Structure 1
């Protein structure tokens, strides 16, 4: 089985070829970081234009790397949502055009499901497992029970954790994207100098919150002499990173308790999404999993951030089950993995 995957939901234009035996035959990603850096964040209209200019080039490069023709494909998969709708539309229309021209099935993949199933591509783990999905746009804890079968245990009531990293980095004068900048400076800092709040720690449930922590960083930065010294920047970064990691660990610990009680056959804690690259968070989660008797899995960093290999693999999983889509599929800016989950409630909830 050979599946072409296309990913255009945010600020990476990506294409990949994956086979049914979990081999990645091609995986190309064109980042737009340099395009958006002057704005300090992603500009949706700019992202959509960049996808439009590059999607076909990325597909051509992936096909060249894999050494195959469109006729050899079994199906074409693309992120159908959630994401910035302009970019999602570009990927979906590109995939539909290829599917129509090559007379192949079209697969609309939920971007979050791509992240959720990556551990099955890299480690071939069995269902069910517990997933922490942490990125610039999402922060959720999910029980992954099967393809298309998810139970949301917790979500953010305001901001995604990746967004909090970006905003905190901006406030202390670091560049975009904030995650790698915060981690690099935190390595030189003293996390004990500034003790920031651990949002939601000790509270019932598994939900996250990061808006209060962002505000605490703002107030701290305003209180320090200007300009900030390099040591100030490093110490604030270290304090912020520690607060995020410990807060997320507390929420994940509660989710582990729920998960192991309801699905005792589950043996894995998986982290996915761009924030999964953070070493402090990985260390906290590794310890948590060990204490709970679970195996901790974090896919390679390249497959934690947005990529098309995860979309192609989710396509493999869905195609095996006969879950194909018509060419009338409409791209979706929002597409919850667990449509039965209650709507998040809290100050600043965006959806």
Structure 2
């Protein structure tokens, strides 16, 4: 099959969850003998034409104040190019800036599959008008897609109840590392078991401020490492407000999977504040790395973690998680999460499910 993946900033990942997803899925599909290509913006740091057997096609994307509106044009250019190249299937990652074009696209036999992401219109960063626009766009995506994919049963249920459509429920994946090296921490100036951790995009719906406030109210002296790009609006706000506190270390964005795995593995605990989305890749990677997890209490995280985590809904409950850490069965939680990851969140299985879906559409 000829498969195009659109809707991301490109691979290898240097931004977030969808880019991590596209990198792993594309390599897996290519490894099964498919002709796969991913669209990158010209500004992406990777400038070669092939990554792990996956073709790279570059399109221009606006930056700065025009970035939001530029995303609409970027998605349009990528999808039109994929149709021109006679892709059998286009997998669009997200719908907010792509679906408005769907009714006007000449498909020419190309099947369009949309990954619906999380509940995009619930994100705290959007205003009232933007949320209404996104909900209307959601309806367009459902109507004009040949298939939609959700990565979480709660989200699939939402589309079934609201639109009477059966979404393909395919989670993200994670790889379980077998070998660990404490020396990798030396570059960060930290020791194993002597720090707490957040790995997340610094956005309001990821409860960054809630976690920081709860952590600073706790009695612990170990630092909280914050891994996430703080060059954007909300990240800048967090850094201005908290950057001088000696118990916090803003490390910026880190996209080296080996370093991230080791930071997670050797942490006292890893906080996961994501509150609006499905099976978040960062959460699965924390599970696969074998760390104790404190997660925001919502149906998305609870379906993934079950009873094998500490949960919080407020800064005060973050503080309680830290204070009560010694009462938790750490080894049991970590062991159960590793078992769950092996059983349900392996990339090989995820890739095969996508290939089966695409084959069913192409015929």
Q: Would the TM-score normalized by the shorter structure come out above 0.5?
A: no
Q: With the length of structure 2 as denominator, give the TM-score of the two structures.
A: 0.35
